[in-house]
Structure formats: structure tokens, C-alpha cells
């Protein structure tokens, strides 16, 4: 008989077998000895119980007989059954017989404990319904028993033939296994709670979290013999906690970024304003001081300073638009017709300088959208500016309104006749500071205007759509929720 299966068990058990000479042998585990003292079982009953178990069980063979020659008890369906036997003497005790190799194992329960047995059955049903895994191990942390749920909590088949102690080592995360192996000793010797949240790896490579809780069971006063406990799946909870922690870290990083940008902006603006002031002063006095190139140098200084100032403003705008904790712009109805008229007026000077024709809408612009008027204007002006800036000399920019059939969104479309974008450029479009090679053509800009526009539209409940064909031009459409009339 395999002592590891029943000797350290917390339930009373009686092992019965025959030795090589055919003599009947028996012994009870520590749990049975403690149980017998509590119930007042006399020593003379054990031989009688062993004899009764031997007579009721399939014939016991000596160790030399092959295990396959031992007949098994059969139930009505023809499958192996565990017979229940009322043992002789008092107190009244029932034994559940389980053949074990060349012997028989009898699990004992007193009739007076039947109520407790029913309670245990109900508890087992609740554990099964909750999907909890039940385990038993020795004090060295070597797992001896798993119920079916323990297998499923690790993505394993309950019919896996490998020993459970081996499956436990294979599925437990290596870093957690070292801590888990020390828990029984710390629990027994120091009285620390046996509680831990550990990671397990499924056969498919996925990682899951289990909560394990346990306690030591004793075979007698002050004699712990094994550990028993439960496992429960806490993967969803741990993933939610990780997501919340990541969100908090992102918000903290965002706040730090905003504070840094504000500080950098202040530190840059102060000397930059001085540079611009002196550049303007040089321009005003260019005719009074000798030097034919002084006016041109002063103009370069002023233009470079203005470029840096715009870059600072764009950086702050981008940081503010992407701030996680920042409230969304207040949504109010914004009429499209005056917005378009204003945008065309403001972009006219840039179009004349670039030699680009900006064409007004062919159809009247009607309706309103929900959004912040200043932000909506900012996005439209940015799209018009880009369409002019990245166009060709003599090219065209056409502004039009559009809306889907369901009327939930309304859009303004800016189409140009520029060089268009290749598919690989479309994938990088909108990346901050990525100008897609426009800087090599001497076109001014910072490369973050489109990123700002897309972020602002998303925060107002809209989106930005882009269509482009190399050699024909691009079409940018800003969509926003339609305002109800």
C-alpha cells in the first residue's frame, strides 16, 4: 500500500493487507488514532474491524500476487464501486472500502458524526459550485492531492496522469514557487497565515493569478501532519488592479510632463522675448547704422524667434490636448457657415503668397456641429493651412461640407491638389514632429499641427479622416457631432 496516499490524511483511515506469508496485517493512521481516543474506541476493536474489512473486500493477495489479479468490487453499472460496511462493536462506525494495491483502505466515520459528514458534503457542493480548487500537501510543500477544479485553474486536464506535485512545480511561476515552498514552515513554526497570491502559467503560455489559502491539520495535539487549503481564480481582479496602477502612473507622468512643459515654456519665453525685442529694434534702426546686410540679418533673427515662439505654443497645445485628466472642451452648437467664411478670409493671405487658389464651397454650407467654437476654428484653419502649404504652385484647395446618411455627424472637407501621400506616409501621418520629408523641400512648420487637430476632434466626440492619392492630392475631413436644429 502507498502510505503517501492515506497515512498523513486528516481523515481516519485503516489500512488492511496480508504479508508475504498470508497473515492479516493492519494499522491506522494518526488521524484515526486521535479519532479513536476521542470516541473511546477500545484497542480490541481494531483487529475485529480489520478482519471485517478483509472479509468484505475483494480477496486480499500477498505482495507477490500481481495487482491485476485482484478483483474489484462492481456496482450495478459494472464500474468499480466503494462498498460501505458497518463495523462490529460500539460505537457504531461505518467504513468506506477502497482497494489499494494488495490491500484495502477503510475510511472510517462514526454514526454520531453523520451530521458532520452531511455538512461536509454540503460544503463540498458549495466549493464545487464556486469553482474553488482544493489541495493537500505535506509539511515540506510537496503536493499530494488536487480536486478537479485545481487542474482547471491551471488550464490542465483533470485526467492528466502526472503526479500533482510535479504539475504544481511545472505551472507555478518560478519566482512565486520559492516563496510558496516556505509558507508551510512559516505557518507551522511562526504561526504566520498561510495566504498568498501567486502566478501560474497555463500550457498555452498565458499567465493567470490564483489566491491560495491554507492551514495545518494535526494528527494529535501539537502534531501537525499536513496542509490543506483552497485556490481561487483572481486573474480578473489582478488585471484590473494592474490597469488601474498603469492609469495612475500615466496620469502622474502626464501631470509631470505638463509641469515640465510649463516651466520650460516660461524659461524659453523670457530670453526669446528679449531676442525678438532686440531684432525688432535692429530692424527699426537698420537705416541709421552702417551695414547693407543688417536689415536681412535682423529679419532672419526675427523670423527664427517667431518660429521658436510658435513651436513653444504648439508644444503646450499638444500637451494640453493630450492631458488625460483634462476636461473635454465644452460642447455648444457651432454654426458652420460663418465658420467657413471666417476661415476663408483668414487663409486668403497665405494662399496669395503661395500662389494657391482657395475655392469656396460649391453648395451652401448649412447646419451646426457640437463643439468648442475656438477649437473647431483652430482645426479648420490648420487643415486649410496645411492644404495651402503642402500644395503646388498654381494648385487648388476646395472647402466643402458633408455628412453621413444617418445625420449623427457633420463634416467639413478640405481637398487639395498637392503631391499626395504614399501608403507608407499615410501610416506615419499625424505622428508629432514627423513632417514626412517636407522639411527637405524647405516648407516651414513644426509637424505637430495635425496631431493637435486629431486630438482636439477626438476630445469633442469627432474624428479626422484622410484620403490621399500620390500625384492627385489629399482630402482631409473633420467630423463632429451634428447639433440638433
107-157 per-position pLDDT tens digit: 888 877 665 556 556 656 666 677 788 888 877 767 778 888 899 999 999
* Arithmetic mean of pLDDT over the chain: 79
93-100 and 103-110 strand pairing: antiparallel
Domain 1-72+80-129, CATH: 3.30.450
The label of the residue with cell 457631432 reads 481
What is the band of 105 on the pLDDT scale with cuts at 50, 70, 90? confident
Task: Tally the residues of the chain.
Answer: 485
At the second CATH level, the architecture of 132-233 is 2-Layer Sandwich (3.30)
Say whether pLDDT at 6 is over 80.
Answer: no
pLDDT per residue as tens digits for the range 318-347: 666 555 445 556 788 999 999 999 889 888
In terms of DSSP H, where are the helices of 40-194?
Answer: 45-56, 114-129, 148-152, 164-171, 174-190
What's the pTM? 0.42
The answer to whether 74 and 81 are in contact (CB under 8 A) is: yes
Closest CA to 447 of 428, 462, 460, 466: 428
Q: Which CATH number fits domain 332-481: 3.30.565.10, 3.50.50.60, 3.20.20.70, 3.40.50.620?
A: 3.30.565.10
428 Cβ contact partners less than 8 Å away, ≥ 6 residues apart: 434, 436
Pick the CATH number of 243-321 from 1.10.3470, 2.60.40, 1.10.287, 1.10.10: 1.10.287
Please, which residues bridge with residue 334 across strands?
A: 369
Are 26 and 44 a contacting pair, CB within 8 Å? no
C-alpha cell at 234: 483572481
Q: Which three cell numbers stand for residue 84?
A: 460501505
Query: pLDDT digit string (tens) for 224-271?
Result: 667 888 899 999 999 999 999 998 888 887 777 777 766 666 666 667
**pLDDT at residue number 286:** 57
**What are the domain boundaries of the chain?**
1-72+80-129, 132-233, 243-321, 332-481
Phi, psi angle pair for 126, to nearest 5°: -65, -40
Q: Residue 123: what are its φ and ψ, rounded to 5°?
A: -65, -40
DSSP string, 369-426: EEE-HHHHHHHHHHHHHHHHHTS-TT-EEEEEEE--TT-SEEEEEEEE-S----HHHH
> Could you give phi then psi for residue 327, rounded to 5 degrees?
-70, 150
Is the model's pLDDT at 285 over the cut of 70? no
Task: Report the Cα 332 to chain-centroid distance in Å.
Answer: 37
Q: Determine the Cα–Cα distance for residues 182 and 78; give it in Å rounded to an integer.
A: 45
- Predicted confidence at residue 324, as pLDDT, reads 47
Q: Do domains 132-233 and 243-321 have the same CATH topology?
A: no
Amino acid at each position: 500500500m502507498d502510505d503517501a496516499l492515506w497515512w498523513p490524511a486528516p481523515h481516519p483511515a485503516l489500512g488492511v493487507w496480508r504479508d508475504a506469508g498470508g497473515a492479516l496485517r493492519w494499522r491506522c493512521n494518526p488521524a484515526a488514532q486521535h479519532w479513536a481516543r476521542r470516541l473511546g474506541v477500545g484497542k480490541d476493536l481494531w483487529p475485529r474491524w480489520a478482519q471485517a474489512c478483509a472479509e468484505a473486500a475483494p480477496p486480499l493477495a500477498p505482495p507477490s500476487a500481481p495487482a491485476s489479479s485482484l478483483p474489484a468490487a462492481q456496482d450495478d453499472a459494472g464500474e468499480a464501486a466503494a462498498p460501505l460496511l458497518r463495523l462490529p462493536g460500539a460505537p457504531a462506525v461505518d467504513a468506506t472500502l477502497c482497494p489499494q494495491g494488495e490491500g484495502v483502505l477503510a475510511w472510517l466515520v462514526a454514526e454520531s458524526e453523520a451530521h458532520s459528514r452531511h455538512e461536509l458534503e454540503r460544503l463540498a457542493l458549495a466549493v464545487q459550485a464556486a469553482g474553488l480548487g482544493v489541495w493537500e500537501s505535506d509539511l515540506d510543500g510537496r503536493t499530494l492531492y488536487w480536486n478537479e477544479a485545481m487542474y482547471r485553474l491551471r488550464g490542465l486536464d483533470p485526467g492528466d496522469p502526472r503526479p500533482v506535485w510535479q504539475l504544481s512545480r511545472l505551472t507555478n511561476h518560478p519566482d512565486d514557487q520559492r516563496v510558496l515552498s516556505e509558507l508551510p514552515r512559516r505557518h507551522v513554526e511562526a504561526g504566520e497565515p498561510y495566504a498568498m497570491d501567486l502566478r501560474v502559467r497555463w500550457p498555452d503560455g498565458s499567465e493567470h493569478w490564483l489566491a491560495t489559502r491554507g492551514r495545518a491539520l494535526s494528527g494529535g495535539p501539537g502534531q501537525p501532519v499536513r496542509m490543506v487549503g483552497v485556490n481561487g481564480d483572481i486573474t480578473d481582479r489582478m488585471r484590473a488592479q494592474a490597469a488601474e496602477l498603469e492609469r495612475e502612473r500615466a496620469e502622474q507622468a502626464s501631470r509631470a510632463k505638463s509641469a515640465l512643459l510649463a516651466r520650460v515654456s516660461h524659461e524659453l519665453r523670457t530670453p526669446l522675448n528679449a531676442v525678438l525685442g532686440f531684432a525688432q529694434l535692429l530692424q527699426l534702426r537698420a537705416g541709421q547704422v552702417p551695414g547693407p546686410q543688417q536689415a536681412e540679418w535682423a529679419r532672419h533673427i526675427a523670423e527664427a524667434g517667431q518660429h521658436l515662439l510658435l513651436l513653444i505654443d504648439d508644444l503646450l497645445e499638444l500637451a494640453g490636448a493630450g492631458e488625460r485628466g483634462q476636461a473635454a472642451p465644452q460642447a455648444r452648437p457651432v454654426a458652420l457657415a460663418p465658420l467657413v467664411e471666417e476661415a476663408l478670409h483668414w487663409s486668403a493671405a497665405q494662399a496669395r503668397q503661395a500662389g494657391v487658389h482657395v475655392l469656396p464651397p460649391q453648395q451652401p454650407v448649412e447646419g451646426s456641429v457640437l463643439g468648442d467654437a475656438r477649437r473647431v476654428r483652430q482645426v479648420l484653419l490648420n487643415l486649410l493651412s496645411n492644404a495651402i502649404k503642402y500644395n503646388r504652385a498654381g494648385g487648388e484647395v476646395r472647402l466643402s461640407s458633408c455628412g453621413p446618411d444617418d445625420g449623427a455627424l457633420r463634416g467639413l472637407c478640405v481637398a487639395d491638389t498637392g503631391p499626395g501621400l504614399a501608403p507608407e506616409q499615410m501610416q506615419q501621418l499625424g505622428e508629432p514632429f514627423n513632417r514626412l520629408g517636407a522639411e527637405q523641400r524647405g516648407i516651414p512648420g513644426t509637424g505637430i499641427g495635425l496631431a493637435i487637430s486629431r486630438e482636439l476632434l477626438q476630445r469633442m466626440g469627432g474624428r479626422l479622416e484622410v484620403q490621399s492619392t500620390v500625384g492627385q492630392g489629399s482630402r482631409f475631413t473633420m467630423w463632429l457631432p451634428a447639433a440638433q436644429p
